[in-house]
Structure 1
Amino acid sequence: NNIRNLLVATDIEIMDHAGDSLRNSRGHAWMLVNRFFRLLSSYCRETREVQFYADKLSITSTYLYKLCRKNFQLSPKELIDRQTVTEIKTYLVNTDMSVKHIASELNFEDVSYMCRYFRRQTGMSPMDYRAFSKRQVLAE
């Protein structure tokens, strides 16, 4: 996810500084996909609803689904979930914040829902992931 975000950010920078010919060659669909990733990085802590992102892009959720499937072979919801899990992992590995505080930061209804969400996505609890990542660092 972090590599994908880096590549998208790099592409955005290139497109921002590119001439009109390069911008036009990519087309409207690619511009929408880039905007989706920008929105995702900005709002993933606030909302995980596909309709929110589609509305921000002024397109239907069905069209957003088609764009994501065509370009990434994943649904927008899967991309949102991956970004959200990446955010949770970042907090778990790089901070000493409690799981409850992380759930609050990422606007989960409650800590138990975030724990179930994280386990469903990763196969382990947030605390198990934190312990696992600390063991990995010590092993290196």
Structure 2
Amino acid sequence: MVEKVSNTSWYGLALQALIILATHEGICPSSVMAKKLGFQSTFLRKVLTHLVKADIIQAKEGRDGGYSLNKSPEEITLAGVYHALTAELFPKGFLNVQSKECFAPPTQDALCDLRDEMEGWIIEGLEKKTLADLLNKRLS
């Protein structure tokens, strides 16, 4: 089983890899994507594994292997990519309310609710955007 990540930089890398796949004809090797993105292909493949498991992209193994989109750019929501990674939206420690010395339980609950509500707002916005939207902005 692939563990979910908690590094928000993986989300940005995943989106950039999807843009490359959307503009690349045929299967794109991870080495090609890694070179364009300035990352090692082994690290990039860790990120791409999450997108394969979510059925957003497909992987072909072997000498002529690589990756391709499994859906059209219009069908890939940015929220879908977020959920594939299940990255923590906020940096580690953001609204950390574990300290019982500083906050009473009702305050801790209120801050946790606020953090969850903020994440909901962002996910709601990501649901409205697709990979096609990013491609259209890139080309305009």
Please classify the TM superposition score into its range, dividing by the shorter chain length. Answer: 0.3 to 0.5
TM-score, normalised to structure 2, is 0.33
TM-score, normalised to structure 1, is 0.33
Higher relative contact order (CA 8 A, sep 6+): 2
Greater helix fraction, Structure 1 or Structure 2: 1
